[in-house]
Amino acid sequence: MSLSCSAWPGQADGEFVAALKVLVPGIKVSPRPGRLDIVVPDHGAHTLEARLVEANVRFAWQPQPPPRAHAGFEQRLSRLVERGEVKAEIPALLTSYQKEGLERAVARKGHHLWWPCGSGKTIAGVLWSLSHDGPHVVVTRSAALFTWYREVKARTNVEPKVWLPPSLRRKNWEDIDVYARRVARPFVIVSWESLPAAITDLAILRPKTVAFDEIHRSKSHKRWKATPNSDGTLDFEKLENIAASAADLSKLASQRLALTATPIRDRVRDLWAQLDLVEPGTWGKYWDWATRYCAARPGTFGGMDDRGASNLEELEYRLRYCVHRVLPEEVAQMLPPKRRQTVFLPVQEQNKAAGSWTRVIQKAQKEGQESTLEVKLAEAASRKRKWILDSLAEAAEAGHKVVVLTGRRHDVDILGAEARKSLPETAQIWATHGEESPEDRDAHCQTWLKAAGPAILIATGDSIGESLNLQDADLMIVAMLPWTPGQVMQYEGRVARLGQNRPVLIQYVIAEGTVDERVAEMLLNKLPSVAQLTGDNDVDALRQSLVGTENKEELLDDVASLLNTLLADDIVIGQDES
């Protein structure tokens, strides 16, 4: 939304206009005889007025037309349910902050939801998209592509499509234009990493809405390359990078939404690209914005230094118009003490399993079905390392405390070493497994328990999956899947127990194309997606929701046929890529 005013400065020369654009990034100034006509986004109107008053410049706001009537979010949601596009139970599942944020978002052409991890950003993005006319596009990190896909399938009757690069497409791949003609509500999900390759297809789709999930991943403002000419002028060449492709996609859409838990991961300068993607042009050019809010100045060795911060109260005031913030403590009051989430990791997002598996699998096959199953689950867990590190980076930025349970000691050591290299220095990291004494393992757990976040504990499920108290976690990542109800109860019981003082999210990570899928189908898919289970009732509920038995022999009989379908060739043999 924009506002218009006229101003009568004593001297409206080019220098005055340029200064005004820096003082109020995002305004458009049109010189007229004796006056300036100014168009300003609503979030900059207060700032413009304050600057004109400071400069003793006479001005007058132009009358605004009455606002156009539009349906609010809840009215739109009711229509979606009536038409059968959204499932009937969804409205009752939404929290008050979700409804409030979406009510604000549908009223603007661009809006930001700064909600903490585990607060329901994905379903909010789905419902916001469907609240407008399509086609729809969602941009997310590659590891979350199929999480979004399954969320759309689970909560709506819309048929989504994941855009994949040609090298990962199967023979029956359906082109975007064919898909768009076939379905009533085109809903395309693409990764940030694939965006430069996908932008041509997305331009054919011509989306009406685009939701930028984890928008902090597009914090770069570098969309053009400047080449100096001999006469002192500059030629600008558009870069073929994520930032430029995201800007192109944003301009195709008429409605835009940003979703993130960590909008500023490094410095204030990270914000401009996010703001410009959601409301193109309304925050001004980057260096005008950086001069005002990042204290940008000439650098010591040339160029501009934009690492600072300035006028933050003014920026904060402007953000109130276009950002809906939810604090972690607000979410905690509405969440159950324990939530479960199944994360599906597509083949293209898996890393090579660490180490050599030939002898391990051969030995396990000689020992029997149970050993074979456990080795194949451990191999699948080893493929999730890159995804886990990415998730730990997100959690560390949010200041969370995390427990990671994986399969082998070797994987614990690698995860611990790589986490120490890649995570912020503020993150405290412990890695432990069965080669350490029980006293040492307990000491690690106790130190982690007393630490303030961000704090990461990485271990094998066997080494800390029983008896130890870890009830101060925000997140537990289960990389090696448990395959009996007893294991599930023991793992979850470490973090969801008496003395727990915050909600915990338990993620079971499924590596597609591995034994994980079979075990998940048999066991984990029977877990309730959201559980409010505590105390003694937890045991009975898990037994009922899983397989109804604790008999390992019966369970092994159930998976025997699955194991027979998985040959040794399914295991990735060789040394780790790193």
So where are the chain's domains? 2-61, 73-157+187-330, 336-570
Sign of the C-alpha dihedral computed for residues 53, 54, 58 and 62 taken in this order: negative
User: What would be the CATH architecture of the domain defined by 336-570?
Assistant: 3-Layer(aba) Sandwich (3.40)
DSSP collapsed to 3 states, 453-521: CCEEEEEEHHHHCCCCCCCCCCEEEECCCCCCHHHHHHHHHHHCCCCCCCCEEEEEEEECCCHHHHHHH
Residue 532: pLDDT band by 50, 70, 90 thresholds? Answer: very low
pLDDT beyond 80 at 471: yes
On the question of pLDDT at 466 being above 70, the answer is no
Determine the length of the chain.
578
Structure confidence by residue, pLDDT tens digits, 477-528: 999 988 766 677 778 878 877 677 778 888 889 888 888 887 777 665 555 4
Mean pLDDT of 397-407: 91
CATH topology of domain 73-157+187-330: Rossmann fold (3.40.50)
- Can you tell me the mean pLDDT for 207-236? 86
Give me the chain's average pLDDT, please.
Answer: 83
Highest mean pLDDT: which range of 130-139, 159-168, 294-303: 130-139
CATH 3.40.50.360 fits 2-61, yes or no: no
CB–CB of 41/1 below 8 Å? yes
Determine how β-strand 58-61 pairs with β-strand 2-8: antiparallel
User: How would DSSP label each residue in 57-80?
Assistant: -EEEEPPPPPPPP---HHHHHHHH
pLDDT of residue 443: 87
- What is the average pLDDT across 83-103? 94
Q: What is the pLDDT of residue 560?
A: 52
Tell me the pLDDT tens digit for each residue of 339-363: 878 888 888 788 888 877 778 888 8
* Average pLDDT, integer, range 128-135: 94
Share of the chain above pLDDT 90, in %: 38
Topology alike, domains 73-157+187-330 and 336-570: yes
Give per-residue pLDDT as tens, 267-303.
Answer: 889 899 999 999 999 999 998 999 999 998 887 766 7
* Residue 556 binned pLDDT confidence (cut-offs 50, 70, 90): low
- For residues 152 and 90, is the Cβ–Cβ distance under 8 A? no
| pTM reported for the whole predicted model | 0.76
Consecutive H or E run containing 421:
helix 409-422
pLDDT over 70, % of the chain: 87
Question: In the prediction, which pLDDT does 217 show?
Answer: 84
Give CA–CA dist 534/453, Å, rounded. Answer: 25
Cα separation of 569 and 375, whole Å?
14
Residue 475 has what pLDDT?
92
Token readout for 550 is 């604790």
Q: Which of 50-59, 296-305, 565-574 has the highest mean pLDDT?
A: 50-59
Tell me what pLDDT residue 574 has: 30
Would you say residue 96 has pLDDT above 50?
A: yes
Angle of CA points 122, 127, 131, to nearest 5°: 150
